[in-house]
Amino acid sequence: MAKVHFFYSTMNAGKSTALLQSNYNYQERGMDTLLFLPEIDAASNNNKIHSRIGLTAAAHPVSADFNFYKFVSLEQMKKPIHCILIDEAQFLTKDQIRQVCRISDELNIPAMCYGIRTDFQGQLFEGSAELLALADYLIELKTVCDCGRKAIMVVRLDEHGKVVTDGDQIKIGGNDTYKVFCRKHFRELTQLI
């Protein structure tokens, strides 16, 4: 039976790179995959998944009302689908994660989801919370804090590089907007935990 995998980490741990490598492995063996990217990220990336080391692949954009189960069911009628791969899975809704689980359970297609576990305030994203609850496998991809400890938290920076603790949960940005830290340094910088 197919499984749901959740690869999670902070930013800069290689999630997109790992996704693109897995996709390549399937394609190299003549197997068809479907790649997905939430619209919030797809819009600024020309509907492509980008890794920081330069790898890219086209992906289907996913809106908040997108139905994974219906889409994959229709695609499977055209050709066998061997795996679905989802980048930025933290931005999915609870219902969408349940649809992904249904794909694995009923259509027997593995799902590999990649995303950030918590936001800049240390709170779980909706998609990540549901994946932590329902995924068959939880795989942490690791990166490090400036002190050398494992980084598990993300802070948001303003335009002057100062730590921000208020604002909308979702704000797309890169290294100029976010930085990763261990829990100790996150607490010292934000006073949130």
**Would you name the residues annotated as active-site residues?**
88
CB 31 within 8 A of CB 23: no
Q: What is residue 91's three-state secondary structure?
A: helix
What gap in Å lies between CA 142 and CA 12, rounded to an integer?
9
Neighbours of 167 (CB within 10 A): 12
Q: Tokens 């490598």 — which residue?
A: 21
CB 137 within 8 A of CB 116: no
